[in-house]
Amino acid sequence: MSVDFDFSSVGKTSGYIKQQEATAAAKKDNNALDQADFLKLLTTQLNNQDPSSPVDNNQMVSTMSQLSIVENLTTITNGMDNIVNSISSSSALSASSLVGRSVLVDSSTAFFDGNSPLVAQIDAGSGASDVKVSILDSAGSIVSSFSAASVDGVTDFSWDGVMDAESGEMFPAGKYTVMVSGMQGGKEVNLPVKTYGTVGSVVLGNNISDTKLNILGYGEVSLEDVGSISL
Protein backbone atom coordinates (compact mmCIF):
# COMPACT_ATOMS: atom_id res chain seq x y z
CA MET A 1 0.00 0.00 0.00
CA SER A 2 1.41 3.35 -0.98
CA VAL A 3 1.09 6.49 1.11
CA ASP A 4 1.13 9.98 -0.36
CA PHE A 5 3.61 12.31 1.40
CA ASP A 6 3.91 16.06 1.00
CA PHE A 7 7.65 16.57 0.43
CA SER A 8 7.11 20.36 0.16
CA SER A 9 7.02 20.59 3.96
CA VAL A 10 10.38 18.88 4.50
CA GLY A 11 12.86 21.17 6.29
CA LYS A 12 10.20 23.76 7.15
CA THR A 13 8.91 24.44 10.66
CA SER A 14 5.20 24.64 11.38
CA GLY A 15 5.60 28.36 12.15
CA TYR A 16 7.22 28.98 8.77
CA ILE A 17 4.47 27.07 6.98
CA LYS A 18 1.73 29.06 8.77
CA GLN A 19 3.48 32.32 7.89
CA GLN A 20 3.67 31.34 4.22
CA GLU A 21 0.01 30.36 4.21
CA ALA A 22 -0.97 33.66 5.85
CA THR A 23 1.06 35.62 3.27
CA ALA A 24 -0.57 33.71 0.41
CA ALA A 25 -4.03 34.32 1.87
CA ALA A 26 -3.32 38.04 2.25
CA LYS A 27 -2.21 38.27 -1.37
CA LYS A 28 -5.29 36.37 -2.48
CA ASP A 29 -7.59 38.76 -0.60
CA ASN A 30 -5.88 41.86 -1.97
CA ASN A 31 -8.17 42.91 -4.81
CA ALA A 32 -7.03 46.54 -4.94
CA LEU A 33 -5.35 47.84 -8.11
CA ASP A 34 -2.62 50.44 -7.82
CA GLN A 35 -0.75 52.45 -10.46
CA ALA A 36 1.68 49.61 -11.16
CA ASP A 37 -1.23 47.26 -11.87
CA PHE A 38 -2.76 49.73 -14.32
CA LEU A 39 0.57 50.18 -16.08
CA LYS A 40 0.90 46.41 -16.37
CA LEU A 41 -2.59 46.17 -17.87
CA LEU A 42 -1.82 48.98 -20.30
CA THR A 43 1.44 47.30 -21.38
CA THR A 44 -0.38 44.02 -21.91
CA GLN A 45 -3.02 45.81 -23.97
CA LEU A 46 -0.32 47.40 -26.16
CA ASN A 47 1.43 44.07 -26.68
CA ASN A 48 -1.80 42.38 -27.73
CA GLN A 49 -3.42 45.20 -29.70
CA ASP A 50 -4.82 44.71 -33.16
CA PRO A 51 -2.18 46.00 -35.67
CA SER A 52 -4.99 47.17 -37.94
CA SER A 53 -6.55 49.22 -35.12
CA PRO A 54 -3.81 50.41 -32.74
CA VAL A 55 -4.47 52.29 -29.53
CA ASP A 56 -4.88 56.02 -30.04
CA ASN A 57 -1.76 57.89 -28.81
CA ASN A 58 -3.79 60.78 -27.40
CA GLN A 59 -6.00 58.38 -25.45
CA MET A 60 -2.95 56.61 -24.02
CA VAL A 61 -1.32 59.89 -22.97
CA SER A 62 -4.59 61.02 -21.38
CA THR A 63 -4.86 57.75 -19.44
CA MET A 64 -1.26 58.06 -18.19
CA SER A 65 -1.89 61.65 -17.10
CA GLN A 66 -4.99 60.68 -15.19
CA LEU A 67 -3.12 57.89 -13.42
CA SER A 68 -0.34 60.32 -12.47
CA ILE A 69 -2.84 62.87 -11.14
CA VAL A 70 -4.63 60.25 -9.04
CA GLU A 71 -1.33 59.02 -7.62
CA ASN A 72 -0.23 62.57 -6.73
CA LEU A 73 -3.58 63.39 -5.09
CA THR A 74 -3.37 60.20 -3.02
CA THR A 75 0.15 61.12 -1.87
CA ILE A 76 -0.95 64.67 -0.97
CA THR A 77 -4.01 63.40 0.91
CA ASN A 78 -1.95 60.91 2.92
CA GLY A 79 0.59 63.61 3.71
CA MET A 80 -2.09 66.03 4.92
CA ASP A 81 -3.69 63.32 7.06
CA ASN A 82 -0.32 62.66 8.69
CA ILE A 83 0.19 66.38 9.37
CA VAL A 84 -3.31 66.79 10.87
CA ASN A 85 -2.89 63.70 13.04
CA SER A 86 0.51 64.91 14.21
CA ILE A 87 -0.83 68.36 15.14
CA SER A 88 -3.87 66.89 16.90
CA SER A 89 -1.73 64.43 18.88
CA SER A 90 0.70 67.19 19.86
CA SER A 91 -2.15 69.48 20.98
CA ALA A 92 -3.76 66.70 22.98
CA LEU A 93 -0.44 65.91 24.67
CA SER A 94 0.06 69.59 25.51
CA ALA A 95 -3.22 69.45 27.42
CA SER A 96 -1.43 67.39 30.09
CA SER A 97 0.26 70.63 31.23
CA LEU A 98 -3.15 71.81 32.47
CA VAL A 99 -3.01 69.56 35.54
CA GLY A 100 -3.26 71.77 38.62
CA ARG A 101 -4.50 74.75 36.62
CA SER A 102 -7.86 76.45 37.07
CA VAL A 103 -10.16 76.34 34.03
CA LEU A 104 -13.47 78.05 33.29
CA VAL A 105 -16.30 75.58 32.70
CA ASP A 106 -19.73 76.35 31.26
CA SER A 107 -21.55 75.24 34.41
CA SER A 108 -23.00 77.13 37.37
CA THR A 109 -22.10 74.20 39.64
CA ALA A 110 -18.57 73.83 41.01
CA PHE A 111 -16.69 71.97 43.73
CA PHE A 112 -15.78 73.80 46.95
CA ASP A 113 -12.92 72.04 48.74
CA GLY A 114 -13.67 73.60 52.13
CA ASN A 115 -10.59 75.80 51.96
CA SER A 116 -10.00 77.71 48.71
CA PRO A 117 -12.66 80.20 47.52
CA LEU A 118 -15.15 79.14 44.86
CA VAL A 119 -14.79 81.48 41.88
CA ALA A 120 -17.50 82.12 39.29
CA GLN A 121 -17.95 84.37 36.28
CA ILE A 122 -21.15 86.39 35.90
CA ASP A 123 -22.18 87.72 32.48
CA ALA A 124 -24.44 90.72 32.89
CA GLY A 125 -24.31 91.65 29.22
CA SER A 126 -24.98 95.35 28.71
CA GLY A 127 -25.64 95.69 32.44
CA ALA A 128 -28.02 94.63 35.19
CA SER A 129 -29.28 96.32 38.33
CA ASP A 130 -30.46 94.99 41.69
CA VAL A 131 -28.24 91.92 41.28
CA LYS A 132 -28.72 89.04 43.71
CA VAL A 133 -26.26 86.16 44.10
CA SER A 134 -27.28 82.94 45.84
CA ILE A 135 -25.09 79.97 46.79
CA LEU A 136 -26.97 76.64 46.91
CA ASP A 137 -25.71 73.38 48.35
CA SER A 138 -26.17 69.97 46.71
CA ALA A 139 -29.67 69.70 48.27
CA GLY A 140 -30.76 72.98 46.64
CA SER A 141 -30.85 74.97 49.87
CA ILE A 142 -29.51 78.54 49.90
CA VAL A 143 -26.51 78.72 52.25
CA SER A 144 -25.27 82.24 51.39
CA SER A 145 -26.60 85.25 49.51
CA PHE A 146 -25.20 88.58 48.35
CA SER A 147 -26.48 91.65 46.53
CA ALA A 148 -25.06 94.40 44.35
CA ALA A 149 -26.56 97.64 43.03
CA SER A 150 -25.43 96.94 39.48
CA VAL A 151 -23.12 94.77 37.42
CA ASP A 152 -21.81 95.51 33.93
CA GLY A 153 -20.40 93.02 31.40
CA VAL A 154 -18.44 89.98 32.56
CA THR A 155 -17.50 90.02 36.23
CA ASP A 156 -15.74 87.48 38.46
CA PHE A 157 -17.37 86.57 41.76
CA SER A 158 -15.61 84.84 44.65
CA TRP A 159 -17.26 82.99 47.53
CA ASP A 160 -14.97 82.30 50.48
CA GLY A 161 -17.18 79.54 51.88
CA VAL A 162 -17.18 81.01 55.40
CA MET A 163 -20.14 79.84 57.49
CA ASP A 164 -19.40 81.87 60.64
CA ALA A 165 -17.19 84.96 60.38
CA GLU A 166 -16.48 85.03 64.10
CA SER A 167 -15.39 81.43 64.47
CA GLY A 168 -14.03 81.11 60.95
CA GLU A 169 -15.99 77.90 60.47
CA MET A 170 -16.25 76.88 56.79
CA PHE A 171 -19.02 75.17 54.90
CA PRO A 172 -18.26 71.50 54.21
CA ALA A 173 -16.57 70.49 50.99
CA GLY A 174 -18.90 69.54 48.17
CA LYS A 175 -20.69 70.76 45.09
CA TYR A 176 -22.30 74.19 45.22
CA THR A 177 -24.33 76.08 42.64
CA VAL A 178 -24.11 79.83 41.97
CA MET A 179 -27.39 81.44 40.92
CA VAL A 180 -27.52 85.09 39.87
CA SER A 181 -30.53 87.25 39.02
CA GLY A 182 -30.86 90.93 38.10
CA MET A 183 -33.11 93.54 36.52
CA GLN A 184 -32.76 94.11 32.79
CA GLY A 185 -35.27 96.12 30.78
CA GLY A 186 -37.58 96.34 33.76
CA LYS A 187 -37.72 92.55 34.16
CA GLU A 188 -35.99 90.18 36.55
CA VAL A 189 -33.87 87.68 34.64
CA ASN A 190 -31.35 84.97 35.49
CA LEU A 191 -27.83 85.93 34.44
CA PRO A 192 -25.48 83.37 32.84
CA VAL A 193 -22.91 81.94 35.25
CA LYS A 194 -19.75 79.92 34.63
CA THR A 195 -17.47 78.49 37.32
CA TYR A 196 -13.79 77.67 37.70
CA GLY A 197 -12.49 74.22 38.58
CA THR A 198 -9.08 72.67 39.17
CA VAL A 199 -7.80 70.11 36.68
CA GLY A 200 -6.85 66.91 38.48
CA SER A 201 -5.91 64.81 35.46
CA VAL A 202 -6.16 64.69 31.68
CA VAL A 203 -7.52 61.85 29.58
CA LEU A 204 -5.63 62.14 26.29
CA GLY A 205 -7.47 61.39 23.05
CA ASN A 206 -6.43 61.19 19.41
CA ASN A 207 -7.35 64.85 19.00
CA ILE A 208 -8.62 67.86 20.90
CA SER A 209 -12.27 66.83 20.74
CA ASP A 210 -11.44 63.45 22.31
CA THR A 211 -9.32 64.93 25.11
CA LYS A 212 -11.07 65.15 28.49
CA LEU A 213 -10.19 67.14 31.61
CA ASN A 214 -10.98 65.61 34.98
CA ILE A 215 -12.11 68.51 37.20
CA LEU A 216 -11.53 67.79 40.90
CA GLY A 217 -14.78 66.99 42.67
CA TYR A 218 -16.81 67.65 39.55
CA GLY A 219 -16.04 65.15 36.78
CA GLU A 220 -14.91 65.07 33.18
CA VAL A 221 -15.39 67.89 30.70
CA SER A 222 -14.23 68.14 27.10
CA LEU A 223 -11.22 70.33 26.44
CA GLU A 224 -13.30 72.05 23.75
CA ASP A 225 -15.76 73.22 26.45
CA VAL A 226 -13.11 75.08 28.45
CA GLY A 227 -13.57 78.84 28.22
CA SER A 228 -10.32 80.12 29.76
CA ILE A 229 -7.34 78.95 31.80
CA SER A 230 -5.81 80.65 34.82
CA LEU A 231 -3.14 79.87 37.40
Cα separation, 218 vs 222, in Å, equals: 13
One-letter amino acid at 157 equals: F
- Low-confidence residues of the chain: pLDDT under 50: 1-13, 28-29, 87-88
Confidence (pLDDT) at 144: 94
Confidence (pLDDT) at 65: 66
Domains in the chain (CATH in brackets) are: 98-230 (2.60.40.4070)
pTM over 0.75: no
For β-strands 226-230 and 162-164, DSSP reports them as unpaired
